[in-house]
Chain A
Amino acid sequence: MTTKILDLPDVSFVLPGNRSCAGCGIGIALRQITAALEGRMVMTVPASCLTVLGGMFPIASVNVPWVNVAFPSTAAAASGIAAGLRATGRAGEMTVLAMAGDGGTGDIGIQALSGAAERNEDFIYLCYDNEAYMNTGTQRSGLTPAGARTTTTWSGKRENPKDLPRIMEAHGVPYVASTSAAFPADVYDKVAKARGITGLRYIHMNTPCPSGWGFDPKDTVRLGKLAVDTGLVVLYEVENGVFRLTGRSASLAKTGRPRVPVSEYLATQTRFRGMKPDAIQAVQAWVDDRWVRYVARDAGACD
C-alpha cells in the first residue's frame, strides 16, 4: 500500500502552537505517526526534543496519551506499559508507541531497546534521528555522521554513524523500517503497516533539524529529500527478514538514475562547513559501498 500525500487523512492529534523549533522534522512526522495509529495509542517519550514539543505542565500540545520517562528507559517503559495493558485486559484498546531520538535510542537507550527486542515485546519503537543531541545543544551522538561539527566535535566528527536499523534487524524482530520525515506518506504507510504486526516493530526516521544542522527552516523537506537522493538516507523495510527498498529509494534503484553527490548535500548545512575534500570523498565512498549492498539486497541477495 502506497499512500499519496494528498490522500493522507485530514486529522491531526498534534495541536497548533507546540514548542518545537521552526522547521522541525519531528512536528511534520508526528502528525502522520499519530494519524496512522488513528490516535488509538499511548506514546512513551524520554527526555528529548519531543518532550519539548509535548508541552509544559499544565498545557499539552498532543492529543494522545503520553507517558514521559527517563532518558535510557524508553523501550523498557514501553515493555511495562504493554505488560500493564495486557495484565489489565486493555491491550486491544491502544497501540504502544515508544518514540525517542538517536542518542536516546542508539546510545543511552540501546540496552533497554536490545532487551525489549530480544524479548520481542509488543510495541512500535520509532527513532527520530536528527543526528545529534539536539535538545541539549547539538552534542555528537553515536549516530552523528562523519564530518559534522557539533559542540563536542568542534572540528568535525571523525567516525561514521552506527547502523541502528541493522542492529535491530540482527535481533530478528518482525519489522524494521527506515524512513524520513521529509516523506510524510512513507512515514504514514510504515507506521500503518507496523500497526498491524505483533511484536517489536522498529522504525528509523531521518529527521532534518534546522537549528542543529544549520539550514533555513523552510528547507527541511528539501534537505530530507536530498539526503535520500544521495543515498545517505535509504528508505526501506525488512518484513520478517525480507528486505525491500521503498518509495524514492526504490525508484532510484529501479531507474538507475545517478545519485546526487554527497558534496551537494553537505554544502547545504553549516555543520559540514570546512570539511576537507578527502573527508567528503570518504563519506562518498562509504555511501557508495552501502548503496551497492542495499540494491543487491533489494534484488534478493543475502547480506
Chain B
Amino acid sequence: MSEQVSVMTGNEAAANAARLARVQVIAAYPITPQSPVVEQLAAWVESGELPAEFVAVESEHSAMTVCIGASTVGARTFTATSSNGLAYMTEQVWWAPGARLPIVMCVVNRAMAAPWNVLNDQQDSMSVRDAGWVQLFCRDNQEILDTTVQAYRIAERLHVPVMVCYDGFLLSHTMMPVAVPAPEQIDAFLPPFTEPFTVVDPGDPHNIGPVVMAEPRADETGATRGGYMEIRALHHRALLDALAVIPETDAEYASVVGRSWGGLTWEHLLDDAEVVLVAAGSLGTQLTVTAEQLRAEGVKAGVLGIRAYRPFPVEALRHKLAGRRLALVFDKALSYGYEGPICSDLRGAMLGADGAPAVFGAVCGLGGRDVSPEDLAEAARRALADLDAGARTRETDWINLHLEGRA
C-alpha cells in the first residue's frame, strides 16, 4: 500500500489519476496534445483494467455532453481536451457548471487558431475562465496526477466541475518521475460519488434544468423557489466556497498520500522578496530559476505561483503580496486590446489593499515561443528599471517579440 515511482509524461500522469479516481464514464475526442491521455484510458478500459464506459464520441461538444448526461445520473466522469477542442465544446463548458455537475476535465493548454499552432500557451482555458468552473493549474507531472485526483473531491463536495490545466508538450509530452499512489490510498482519500445534485428516478421524477424565469416563483406547495439570479448566486457562492475547499482538500490529500501542493497558491523564495514573479503552470517552475538568478545579482526576487485561477484567491494574494515593491505577472495568454488576464485580475485584487505593490504585466510564450529563465530575468530587470524610474503602471512587456520583417 505504497507509492510506485515511474517515469511518465504529464498525459500519462493525468490518465493514472483518472484510473485511481475510479472514473465510471470517459468521453473524449482526439486533439493534439491531449490525445495520449484518452488513448491510455481507452487501452485500460479495453483490457478490463479500468471498469468504466469509454464513449468515443464524434466531437468535443459531444464529449462534454456525454459527461453531462452521465454525471446527471450520478456517474463519475472524465474528459480532456485542448485549444480548439475546448472552444468547440464551449456551449457545454457553460452547461456543466450551470447544471452543477462535478465533471473533471484536463485541459492540456495549447494555442488557439487561427493561425494553426499546436504548441503551448494558456489562451484556451483562459477564454472560458468565466464559465463557472474551478480552474487549477499544474507546474509538473506529479502535480498533474495529484491535482486531478483532488479535483474529484473538490468537484463532488461543491457540485461544480473542475478544470485541471497543464501546459501542452512542456508537461504533456515530457517525461518526469511521478510517484503513483496505491489504489487503496486514493480510495481512502476519495469516497465514491454518491450524492449527485440531481435525481433521475422514475419513482421520483424531476424536470432537470428547465426554463427558469427571472423572478422567484411558487412551486406546487406554494413555497417560493429562486429565479435565474438566485441560481446563479448560489453557483457563485460555491466557487467562493472553493477558496476554503481547495486547501482543505490538499491538506486531506497530504495526510493520506504525503504530498501537498499549497492549495490556492504556491511560493518560492517569497519570504523577504521585494520583487515577486507571478505566473500559472510550468512557467512558475521556470521562474524559480529566474528568481535564484536575480538573487545572485542582489535582487530580492521570489515567485508566487497561481494554482487556483478560478476562484481567484484575492485574499491570499493580498496577504502574500503586502509590502512588496513589485508584482510582475507573466501571462501566456492575452485579452486582446487590453493585457494578460492574470495581470488584470491581480491588479484588480491589489486595488485598495494595504501595502499593495505596483503590478506590471508581461506576455510570453504564445504559440510555444521559447522563453528561457534568462529571458524572464531580463524582463524582471526591465520592470525594475521602470519602477526605479518612477513608473507605477506601464504597457505590457512582450518577451522575445521580433516584429521586424513581415509576419
Contact = CB atoms under 8 A, between A and B. Distances in A.
Interface of A: 39-42, 44, 51-52, 54-60, 62-70, 72-73, 75-88, 90, 93-94, 111-112, 114-115, 118-119
A43 to B, nearest CB: 10
Given A67-B72, A73-B92, A114-B58, A42 B200 contact: yes
B202 to A, nearest CB: 5
A60 B220 CA distance: 9
A229 to B, nearest CB: 37
Contact of B69 (A51, A54, A76): A76
B93 to A, nearest CB: 11
Interface string B314-356: 0000000000000000000000000000000000000000000
B62 A79 contact: yes
Contacts, number: 174
A118 B58 CA distance: 10
- Interface-central residue, B53, B65, B199, B201, by most chain A CB under 10 Å: B65
28 contacts: A56-B210, A59-B220, A63-B205, A67-B198, A67-B200, A67-B208, A68-B207, A69-B95, A73-B61, A73-B91, A75-B62, A76-B61, A77-B68, A80-B66, A80-B72, A81-B70, A81-B73, A83-B25, A83-B53, A87-B24, A87-B70, A88-B73, A112-B58, A112-B61, A112-B65, A114-B58, A115-B62, A119-B56
A140 to B, nearest CB: 23
Contacts of B55: 79-80, 83, 119
A131 B406 CA distance: 52
A40 B201 CA distance: 9
Interface of B: 24-25, 27, 52-53, 55-59, 61-62, 65-75, 77, 91-92, 95, 198-202, 205-213, 217-220, 225
A66 B70 contact: no
Nearest to B211: A56
A78 to B, nearest CB: 7
Given A65-B206, A68-B208, A115-B57, A84 B92 contact: no
A60 B205 CA distance: 9
A230 B199 CA distance: 45
A87 B69 CA distance: 12
B191 to A, nearest CB: 15
Nearest to B54: A83
Nearest to B75: A84
A66 B198 CA distance: 11
B66 A79 contact: yes
A90 B73 contact: yes
B202 A41 contact: yes
Contacts of A42: 73, 200, 202
B213 A57 contact: yes
Given A73-B62, A84-B25, A79 B73 contact: no
Contacts of A39: 202, 205
A72 B61 contact: yes
Contact of B206 (A66, A81, A94): A66
A87 B208 contact: no
Nearest to B72: A67
Contact of A67 (B69, B75, B201, B202): B69
Given A57-B211, A62-B205, A65-B205, 7 more contacts: A41-B202, A57-B207, A58-B218, A64-B202, A81-B200, A88-B75, A93-B201
Nearest to A80: B69
- Interface-central residue, A52, A81, A112, A118, by most chain B CB under 10 Å: A81
Nearest to B201: A65
Contact of B65 (A52, A54, A68, A76): A76
Nearest to B62: A76
A73 B219 contact: no
